[in-house]
Structure 1
Amino acid sequence: MRTDRAPTAVYVQSNERDGNQVVVFRTSPNGALSDPGPIAVGGGGDGVPHLASQGCTTLTGDGRALLVTNAGSDDVSLVAVDGAAPRAMGTTSCGSAPKSATEHDGLVYVLNTGDPSVCGMRLTAGGLEPISGSTRALAAGSDPAQVGFSPDGSALVVTERSANAIVSYPVGSDGLLGEPLKRSSSGQTPYGFAFTDDGTLLVVEAFGAAKGKAATSSYATEGGDVTPVSASIGNGRSEICWAVVSDDNRYLYTTNFADSGISRYAIGDDGSLTLDDPAAGVGIEGHTGLRDEDLTSDGRFLYALDADSRQVFGWSVGAGGALSAIGSWGQLPATAAGLAAT
């Protein structure tokens, strides 16, 4: 891959069954999006609206490549985004219905929801190479939602919605996983999660989509284990599913699918959570659809996909984590899913 960096952009996958694409929006200095253009990634989506996952479209840690899970063709696409134009670099088979991927220092793990399982790959100059013996089965019927590395890469975490559990694997120097530690979630239906730079794990809880029951918990991570710090801090909203941490590690932003609100939580020095603003940002008031979100690498802008209105909404991030709406950009496919921003 080239060493020059691409213009800042927002990426959304189309998740279309007959050919998955990534829609690329270029970002301007004021955060406005423009010039949306699709590129074929070589795999196929499942063609169903509301792909139930966090991390189906994710950037590598250096921001130079994009991982796109193809839930319909059972593989993962690698897209180079380190130059003037994104370049599809091929697909790699992994397992049944992959819906989440994560990368740390060249090591990639993919969450398969059809099996269910996780499997490992290496990021190379030529693409993704499977790691022999890396596949680990998850509990049948666990309904996994996301896979993600801890900030130092020493642990791999998976949330299991139906099992109401958080599973953590130690990661060896060879990229293989050790024996898992499985802990009960503080609240029901653990879904998406994010880490602070110091390793605090923040997990949103959808509580079976019960109205007004959305919550978030925080956990300390040490030695591959997770220990509750703040348990189930509710926000009064519904169907919370996605999470992202601010650039300064002081705030957590969560999207609430059922009512189009973005909630802001304050993160304490000890990893504790306080609800700061249950509706720090709103897509379309009272409508469903707000889901995948990401912050730009400089922390100045937050973008979220509204799958029902087929738009991306944007906010600038101000003092105290305040969000100010900057616009929306649409005409995405009804099956659009995932969002990553540089």
Structure 2
Amino acid sequence: MTTTIKTSLASAAAALAIIASANATTVYTSSNDAGGNRILVYETQGAGALVARGAVDTGGLGNGGGLGSQGALTLSDNGRILLAVNAGSDSVTTFRVTRKRLQRVGVYPSGGEMPTSIAVKGDLVYVLNAGGSGNVSGFRLEANGVLEPIASSTRPLSSNAAAAAQVGFNRNGDALLVTERATNNIRTFRVEEDGLLAAPVDNASNGGTPFGFEFDRRDTLLVSEAFGGAAGQAALSTYDLDPENFRLEAITGSAGTNQTAACWVIISENGRFAYLTNTGSGTVTGYSLRRDGTARRLDDSGVTGTTGGNPLDGDIKANTLFVLSPRIGQIVSFNVGPNGALTPGAIGAGVSTSAAGLVAW
């Protein structure tokens, strides 16, 4: 089936009409341009093609540089709502998503300065505001994509200079976590029934500069560690989250990538593998995930795949790993093999050098 669009990358509007083939994967990233943030839309097509399909204005501004975060874009649990941060205008934009259309719903104050990461669980949304003194702020997400702020939901970070990297929920949604790079801290909150957060619990990171994280199918926490960008020192740690006191206990402690500045974490669809993008090395490191929560590097060298540039955010859909590498203006993809090996796939061009965030659906 052919694909028709009513806008282009050079002429973005508040909506993008797409007639996507039934088996296509749609990939979203944000331009993060200081003059106007846009959602850039790509689609897999045919054998090995990743085609630019257009762009939609967020109605907000990017910051024109890196966000230093995981989760600048995220989808609701049902995939029907896309949420994006506007770091340069202290706002969040929501979009309705269908196979035929991406439609902007609204632009909402983020509850703080320089929003960089968004977490969604059901109708509960928390935004990480990394600027100023830093905080997380809560919202309710309506079925139509409207965001409503939750009164008295804003909570501070552990320091006014925490350099927080990500906010996220565990799998059942009763815990919210924030990684703080500058303090080497992982802050956990119990989520109350009304969506408010209980008193924070601060956990020392096993390794330096905790950054991106994901929970696997068994609710084991995987956290990347950039170690301040020290050459060859990046690592992955896994943790158990105590459901009573919300403290973290390390399972695998700083399993090295042998690469530099591991920042983003992506877990395979079958839950057997995790991949870290190494921003300082232009590579991806894969790990096998065990039932006991341990992780083991797939390749002795730490190089499971090579992206070039500065790989940032990633996502996996239909056994394809998509990785944003804005320095070279590309979305790079890999086919994920049954043993976790990565085979180079399609490349999508035309990405802004300031781009941030990536989701595939």
Relative to the length of structure 1, the TM-score reads 0.94
| 1:263 aligned residue (277, 285, 294) | 285
The answer to whether the aligner puts 1:247 opposite 2:266 as a matched pair is no
Could you tell me whether the CA contact under 8 Å between 2:185 and 2:210 is conserved in 1?
Answer: yes
Match of 2:189 in 1: 169
1:291 is matched with 312
Matched, 1:123 2:123: no
Q: Structure 1 residue aligned with 2:121, among 104, 119, 128?
A: 104
CA displacement at 1:141 relative to structure 2: 1.0
1:126 shift after superposition: 4.9
Q: Distance in 2 between matches of 1:126 and 1:21?
A: 18
Q: 2:180 is matched by which residue type in structure 1?
A: E
- Counterpart residue number, 2:97: 81
- Alpha-carbon distance change, 194 to 20 in structure 1, aligned in 2, over 3 angstroms: same
One-letter code aligned to 2:100: A
SS in 2 for 1:148: strand
Residue-by-residue CA offset, 1:195-252 (whole Å, 9 max, x unaligned): 1022100000000000000001000112222111010001110011000111111111
Cα separation, 2, equivalents of 1:240 and 1:275: 13
Query: Is residue 109–residue 120 contact of structure 1 (8 Å, CA) maintained in 2?
Result: yes
Which residue of 1 is the match for residue 200 of structure 2?
A: 180
Distance 1:257 1:102 in 2: 23
For residue 308 of structure 1, give the secondary structure of its aligned residue in structure 2. Answer: helix
Residue 65 (structure 1) shift: 1.3
Distance 1:250 1:325 in 2: 20
Residue 30 of structure 1 and its aligned partner are, at CA, apart by 4.7
How far off is 1:327 after superposition?
A: 2.4
In 2: Cα distance, 1:162 partner to 1:340 partner: 26
Whether the aligned pair in 2 keeps the contact of 1:229 and 1:271 (CA below 8 Å) is yes
From 279, 288, 295, the counterpart of 1:273: 295
Percent identity between matched residues is: 39
CA distance in structure 2 between the partners assigned to 1:96 and 1:142 by the alignment: 14
CA contact (8 A) 1:53 1:145 kept: yes
Instruction: Tell whether 2:31 aligns with 1:14.
Output: yes
Given that 1:108 and 1:123 are in contact with CA atoms closer than 8 Å, whether structure 2 keeps it comes out as: yes
Q: TM-score, normalised by structure 2?
A: 0.89
Unaligned runs of 5+ in 2: 1-18
Residue type at the aligned position of 1:72: G
CA deviations on 1:38-94 (whole Å, 9 max, x unpaired) are 11111111112x221100011111111111000000010001112401001111102
Task: Give, as a single letter, the amino acid of the residue that structure 2 aligns with 1:281.
Answer: G
User: Contact 1:31/1:301 (CA < 8 Å) preserved in 2?
Assistant: no
Q: Secondary structure at the match of 1:208?
A: helix
Q: How many Å separate the matches in 2 of 1:267 and 1:314?
A: 21
The answer for the alignment partner of 1:38 in structure 2 is 55
Measure, in 1, the Cα distance between the counterparts of 2:256 and 2:312: 18
Q: Does 1:203 align with 2:219?
A: no
Is contact 1:311-1:328 (8 Å) kept?
yes
Q: Shift in Å at residue 29 of structure 1?
A: 6.0
Match of residue 213, structure 1, among 233, 236, 251? 233
Supply the distance in 2 between the matched residues of 1:154 and 1:148 (Cα, whole angstroms): 11
Amino acid at match of 2:104: A
Which amino acid in structure 2 is aligned with residue 294 of structure 1? D
* Contact 2:96–2:145, Cα closer than 8 Å, also in 1: no
Q: Please, which runs of 5 or more residues in structure 1 have no aligned partner?
A: none
Task: Provide the rounded CA distance (Å) in 2 between the counterparts of 1:149 and 1:272.
Answer: 20
Following the alignment from structure 2 to structure 1, what is the Cα–Cα distance between the partners of residues 72 and 194?
25
Give me the whole-angstrom Cα distance separating, in 1, the residues matched to 2:267 and 2:259. 19
Structure 2 distance, partners of 1:255, 1:215, is 11
SS in 1 for 2:304: strand
Moved more, 273-282 or 95-104: 273-282
* Aligned residue in 2 for 1:336: 355
| CA distance 1:31–1:271, change in 2 (3 Å) | farther
8 A Cα contact 1:316 1:324, kept in partner: yes
Q: Structure 2: how far apart are the matches of 1:188 and 1:8?
A: 35
Determine if contact 1:251/1:321 at 8 Å carries over to the other structure: yes
CA apart distance, 1:332: 1.6
Separation in 1 of the partners of 2:115 and 2:57? 18
How many residue pairs get aligned? The number is 333
* 2:148 paired with 1:132: no
**Partners of 1:54 and 1:226 in 2: CA distance:** 20
SS of the equivalent of 2:312 reads strand
